[in-house]
Amino acid sequence: MKHLLRNRIRAAVVATCLLGAGALASPAQAAGDDQMNGIHAGDVLVRLRAISIMPNVETSQSLSALNVGVNNAIVPELDLTYMIRDYLGVELILGTSRHQLTSSLGNLGGVNVLPPTLLLQYHFNHAGRIRPYVGAGLNYTLFYNNGLNAGGQPISITNHSFGPALQAGVDVQVTRSLFVNADIKKIWMHTDATLGGQSLGRLNIDPVVVGLGVGMRF
């Protein structure tokens, strides 16, 4: 009788342990499933896009009279996002492009533009597979490799500017780590031009940047 009671107690203890282990495993499994989708604090997102840079040109002084324009450019862009909260990220955008300037006098030559941009992003539906986001931040633009000239005389420009930047986009998760991305940004940048020591005025480039690409979550 004692032997039978001992066996029943042992069986009850084993059953209780198994049920407890199952109860503990279920939330862990659910948490694991949740990590399959979406983004979370501490994640690093790396995106590679093909972007189309479409300047929205405004000029002043002599540049207005010359009807100066800046051509579009299609280049690659790399960006890095660190998620400081499940829904909040900080993104650094890196890329460079070369633009040709035209005028009523003809081609004025080209200049390279390097506009690193830092944005604070808010991500909607961060735990889902389709994740829209918006961002706002600051752009620093470096103008370099200046080949601008008019009538055989070099055009000098200020080599940097600061301006605001706005962004909207969406990530669509394909696998646990891979997603596709569409993104649009508005960046404000400008430079002041001189010819032979005389001011030609300010050139506001202020491009709209549209991009498509892929990303990885780490």
**Could you count the other beta carbons within 10 Å of the beta carbon of residue 25?**
10
Pairing of strands 198-204, 160-173: unpaired
DSSP letter, residue 42: T
158-192 b/e with 16+ CB inside 10 Å = b?
eeebebebebebbbebeeeeebebebebebbbbbb
User: 28-33, long-range: CB within 8 Å, 24+ apart, which pairs?
Assistant: none
In the chain, what are the domain boundaries? 1-36, 40-217
Looking at the domain covering 40-217, what would its CATH class be? Answer: mainly beta
Which residues of the chain register pLDDT less than 70? Answer: 1-36
Cα–Cα distance, 199 to 207 (Å, whole number) = 23
The reported pLDDT for the residue numbered 29 is: 42
The reported pLDDT for the residue numbered 152 is: 84
DSSP letter, residue 104: T
Q: What angle do CA 87, 93, 99 make, to 5 degrees?
A: 145
The reported pLDDT for the residue numbered 194 is: 93
The reported pLDDT for the residue numbered 65 is: 85
The reported pLDDT for the residue numbered 30 is: 41
The reported pLDDT for the residue numbered 62 is: 85
Element (H, E) at 96: none
Cα–Cα distance, 35 to 135 (Å, whole number) = 24
The reported pLDDT for the residue numbered 17 is: 36
Q: How far is CA 7 from CA 11, 14, 18, 19, 21, in A?
A: 6, 10, 16, 18, 21
Q: Please state the φ and ψ torsions of residue 113, each to the nearest 5 degrees.
A: -125, 125
